[in-house]
Amino acid sequence: MGFGAAGGWSRRPSVVAIGREVAPIAPELTMSREFKPGSTRVGWIGTGVMGTSMCGHVLAAGYETTVYNRSASKLASLVEKGAKAAKSPREVAEASDVVFTIVGYPSDVRAVALGPGGTLEGAKPGSVLVDMTTSEPALAVEIADAAKAKGVDSVDAPVSGGDIGAKEARLSIMVGGEADVVASLRPLFETMGKTIVHQGGPGSGQHTKMVNQILIASGMIGVCEALLYGYKAGLDLTTVLQSVGSGAAGSWSLNNLGPRMIAGNFDPGFYVEHFLKDMGIALAESRRMKLALPGLALAEQLYRAVEAQGLGRNGTHALMLALARLSSVEWTTSSARP
């Protein structure tokens, strides 16, 4: 079952994970358990752009893994590496000590965790559900409460780093849940991420991800507008990036997505339609907290224009195409390299 040798109650400090450091906080009565290759069975639900790579790292670390995806064809590469395919989320949970989910929308999270044939129906007492989808903080709390009633733990752990971070196992993982449970999951998180930080109780990981998405939303406007300006000024954008990418204006979006824009490559690392979902959650939370966030609202409207132009399945950097059209600029691979 993936529990420690003692398999009982023990007195030990809770922990907060900070980067790759573990800092103790107040001691409490916790269930001693240890998740490790060879004894822990992992379930994985959702094998899209991010999930396939993330689950692949878990498999490579030696964990016995059961996988499920609504489109079964997307399981093929993981099954070839040794994963077992299941027919439902419940079947995954029945075969697992820890179940990870990374799906599209809060409605998907709800259906997978709480719906008929969902993970909570199949989860055994002492097992853990880990949702890595960017979802609603209130839903994370609801799932945690429902899980607790069954003797199951639930953690929300959304990620940042895009498809590159997922492939290279250097994601930032923002975790909400009970401190001892988060600590026990650390070996699994470390297979897919470099920065693993416990943010607080259930829902805290999702709130932190909203902070992340608000930062990206307004930042992407600046990145796209700056490169559009450079193009119209007749500059070589590749050399422009060499100058500004390492200075105060440098950012992950500029240095990782800027070259893709210049190359005319708008394939998704993260879908526009999913980013719109995230901004919608952040705007709803801001209204609940009576916060005025005009920068976020502007970004959401600009991304609505991207979606309206038929680019919802492109990467978030496709914002460049919508902004270029506002100024009647045709942004192509050749035109981005004057």
Locate 332 and state its tokens. 């192509």
Burial 318-337 (b: 16+ CB within 10 A, else e): bbbbbbbeeeebebeeeebe
Residue among 209, 232, 277, 290 flagged as catalytic = 209
111/97 Cα distance (integer angstroms): 20
Q: HSE (CB half, 13 Å, CA atoms) of 118?
A: 17
Does the active-site annotation cover 124?
Answer: no
d(CA 252, CA 234) in angstroms, rounded, equals 24
Alpha helices in 95-236 (DSSP H): 106-114, 119-122, 137-148, 162-167, 179-189, 204-232
Q: Alpha-carbon distance 136 to 134, whole Å?
A: 7
Largest CA distance in the chain: 68
- Kindly list the distances between the CA atom of residue 140 and the CA atoms of 110, 113, 117, 132, 290, in Å, as whole numbers in the listed order: 9, 10, 19, 10, 21
Strand partners, 42: 65, 98
Q: Which residues are catalytic?
A: 209
